[in-house]
Structure 1
Amino acid sequence: MLKLNDLRVSYGGIEAVKGISLEVPEKSIVTLIGANGAGKSTILRTIVGLVKAKSGTVSFLDEDITGQPSDQIVAKGITLVPEGRRVFPNLSVYENLKIGAYLRKDDFTEDINWIYDLFPRLKERSWQMAGTLSGGEQQMLAVGRALMSKPKLMMMDEPSLGLAPLVVQGIFEIIQEINKQGVTILLIEQNANLALKAADYGYVLETGNIALTGTGAELLANEQVKAAYLGKARSKA
């Protein structure tokens, strides 16, 4: 579904992504793991058109989308759940969900109901201001808002960051349920253990390069990955 070929991205004179090539098969869950500053978020932001590539290509469903405007990329079926959730705090839950459908011209009532089925807590708080929700509820809302664009590929940047372990487990169950319903997932996650357990395939990034690749199970069993990334989940209460 998604292919990056020799993608390079620079900030000023610093090359943040150094010739990355990777693939995300349709209906799979693929995860990128690595330390802070490895280039993971930059990759997602480049795919969705928020950052310009220095060179290389981004292809989606066999179409070169490199450098296209973000709204066109969203319209093609790619959406991003950003790090830090970034809900609109002074709008209600329902209004935030409607914003996720801003490019759509059809009736999205069924999709609102689907989001409420996935996240019953959002239905209970439909007219509550998003800024008054808990961190976990805001993450649910950020995911729901992204789903309102009817994505074929949903990218998620650190969905567990700052959340209690029990909430994180629930978020990952929802991610897997969304995937079962046909949405392809590209995931950045600081909890490498959970990410690799959920993922069909993974890439380990180090300072803008791919250091290791493999299935989720292979990377979980890899001694190098164990030493560097596993057992260090930093979810907070």
Structure 2
Amino acid sequence: MLSIKNLSVHYGGIHALHGISLDVPAGQIVTLIGANGAGKSTTLNSIMGLVKADGGSVSWNGQEILGAKTKTIVESGIVLVPEGRRVFPNLSIDENLTLGAYARHNKAEIEADREHVFSLFPRLKERHKQKAGTLSGGEQQMLAVGRALMSKPKVLMMDEPSLGLAPLIVGMIFDIIRKINEEGVTVLLVEQNAKAALEVANTGYVMETGSISFSGSGKELLADDRVRKAYLGEM
């Protein structure tokens, strides 16, 4: 289990996270929803060691990882698909996937996982020699997820995977999230598309201005009037 307790973060004079606590049980999909600036991305970046926390705890299977190097966190099994994809535009699909496996050494296993990524995203296999910068937004998102899977994560954290994508591609990305989870990978999902996120989630947390306002199962939050009015556009 990934467990966050009383996590606090400041950016200069801005108090970005106000002592938040949440749990990500093994094998589940957990989602954070909330408006822009609520602190969702900061939460993921703090877990990864990309943003320095002021206090609190981030434990992974009982081991404290807050303050650990990002490389160590990745090697422990926690991987982030960042907002905006962040693929290497001048490198090919194959080269981007290879970089995802930089901490691994068993070539046979790496190649098997590359083929698994191609089975999830056949479009990437068709274009595997193509430079990532020439891909569409949807294809780049597929590559960003595939690159993360090449590190063989136990927990896959995803920051706004549907942002800027056509509805058809969004549906496909969420289908892949379900499939990845069914294969045994725990998922922590940050997503502005609250309906799609809660439909796949076992548990959801609602963030507002750096705090967790409330939480519940995905189904409970979909039926909650506060969520429906604030995030689903219903009155």
Is TM > 0.5 for Structure 1 vs Structure 2? yes
Which residue among 138, 143, 146 is the counterpart of 1:144? 146
Equivalent residue runs for 1:116-195 within 5 Å: 116-195=118-197
Aligned equivalent of 2:61: 61
Equivalent residue runs for 1:14-163 within 5 Å: 14-107=14-107, 108-163=110-165
Q: TM-score with structure 2 length normalisation?
A: 0.98
* Deviation sequence 1:181-220 (CA, Å, 0-9, x none): 0000000011000000000000000000111100000000
* Deviation sequence 1:81-135 (CA, Å, 0-9, x none): 0000010011000000000001111121100000000000000000001011111
* Deviation sequence 1:20-68 (CA, Å, 0-9, x none): 0110000100000000010000000000110111000000111000110
Provide the C-alpha distance between the structure 2 equivalents of 1:125 and 1:224, rounded to a whole number of angstroms: 44
Quote how far apart the aligned CAs of 1:13 are: 2.0
Partner amino acid for 2:41? S
Structure 2 gaps, min length 5: none
Provide the C-alpha distance between the structure 2 equivalents of 1:193 and 1:117, rounded to a whole number of angstroms: 27
Structure 1 gaps, min length 5: 233-237
Quote how far apart the aligned CAs of 1:231 are: 3.7
SS in 1 for 2:90: coil
SS in 2 for 1:166: helix
Kept in 2: contact 1:193–1:231 (CA 8 A): no
Aligned equivalent of 1:235: none
Provide the C-alpha distance between the structure 1 equivalents of 2:167 and 2:190, rounded to a whole number of angstroms: 17
Provide the C-alpha distance between the structure 1 equivalents of 2:89 and 2:208, rounded to a whole number of angstroms: 35
Query: What's the Cα RMSD here?
Result: 0.8
Kept in 2: contact 1:7–1:56 (CA 8 A): yes
SS in 1 for 2:38: coil
Provide the C-alpha distance between the structure 1 equivalents of 2:222 and 2:112, rounded to a whole number of angstroms: 38
Number of equivalences: 232
Q: TM-score with structure 1 length normalisation?
A: 0.97
Question: How high is the sequence identity, in percent, across the aligned residues?
Answer: 63
Which residue among 211, 215, 218 is the counterpart of 1:216? 218
Aligned equivalent of 1:10: 10
